[in-house]
Amino acid sequence: MQISLQGKVAAVTGATRGIGRSIAIAMAESGADVALLQRSPENEAVKREIEKLGVRCAIVPCDVSDSRQVKEAVPRVVEALGRIDILVNNAGIQRRSPAVEFSEADWDDVLQANLKAVWLLCQQAGKYMLAQKSGKIINIASLVSFQGGILVPAYASAKGAVAQLTKALANEWSSQGVNVNAIVPGYIATDMNEALINDPVRSRQILERIPAGRWGNPDDFKGPAVFLASDAAEYIHGHLLAVDGGWLGR
Ligand code: NDP
């Protein structure tokens, strides 16, 4: 079987860099037209990369900290590219601090960007996908969907909930042609982990625990994301696919 996303429209949040950028490019390399849902519409760098691949690409303003913009994003994707077949909820933020010092503002920011925006985008995309009786939603979860993490109480709470939301929506929509799954990244060398990478002790401790013997990189997500977005994953629902170099198995 050949995996192709030809004729599909994929929307990816937070694709300006890191994991989201690799996933958006992979969707285009597999033949999909791509909507980049980003908070800085003037940043056209990834759009240019994608258009070179011969598919259509549209930038849709979507600051995930702003629920009003989030709710408008999916209709704008459909307006720009005609439909929506794939939604990748990738945009996310991190705040690190001991729990007793963790501010209410940081809690609200993390829960808004990493959970509420994911929910609203799933809900909006779900309306179109249920109507067309097909669609693939991929949420980006985390190891802290399973584990508590260290100094990241809001992030762990949000990502735990993203895993549960993925299963809740899959239970409701799987019989109607819509697949909802999640990818669980391990430790990936992106801007989000700058603090960990620059901490020689934590960085070494993490590396020693990864069975694959290396940190992940954004391109490690190309294959898993395209697979879950494709017809090859038709009977996969509510699954949390770890892309973690073996971390969770250890
Ligand atoms: P990066 O920090 O490298 O990139 C984050 C992306 O999210 C950027 O495109 C950024 O856009 C976007 N973003 C941040 N805030 C907003 C906002 N308010 N509105 C719209 N877009 C926003 O992150 P990663 O690539 O590392 O992470 C991607 C996803 O993977 C996240 O959900 C993260 O939680 C998850 N993850 C990452 C892990 C890792 O080890 N790196 C591990 C587990 C999960 P901009 O350029 O405009 O800032």
Q: Rounded to two decimals, what is the model's pTM?
A: 0.99
b/e map 184-221, b = 16+ CB within 10 Å: bbbbbbbebbeebbeeeeebeebeeebeeeebbebebb
Q: What domains are there in the chain, each with its CATH number?
A: 9-245 (3.40.50.720)
Rounded to an integer, the average pLDDT of 73-88 is 98
Question: What strand order describes the sheet that includes 86-89?
Answer: 57-61, 33-38, 9-13, 86-89, 135-140, 178-185, 240-243
DSSP class of 150: S
Rounded to an integer, the average pLDDT of 81-99 is 98
Per residue in 141-183, pLDDT (tens digit) is: 999 999 999 999 999 999 999 999 999 999 999 999 999 999 9
Q: Ligand 1: residues whose CB is within 6 Å? A: 13-20, 38-40, 62-65, 90-93, 113, 140, 142, 185, 187-188, 190-193
The pLDDT of residue 24 is 99
* Percent of the chain scoring above 70 in pLDDT: 100
Extended beta strands in the chain, E state:
9-13, 33-38, 57-61, 86-89, 135-140, 178-185, 240-243
Instruction: Give the distance (Å) from ligand 1 centre to CA of residue 158.
Output: 14
The pLDDT of residue 2 is 86
Residue 1 pLDDT more than 90? no
Q: Whole-number mean pLDDT of the chain?
A: 98
> Atom 11 of ligand 1 has which residue's CA nearest to it?
14
Instruction: Give the distance (Å) from ligand 1 centre to CA of residue 211.
Output: 24
Per residue in 95-121, pLDDT (tens digit) is: 999 999 999 999 999 999 999 999 999
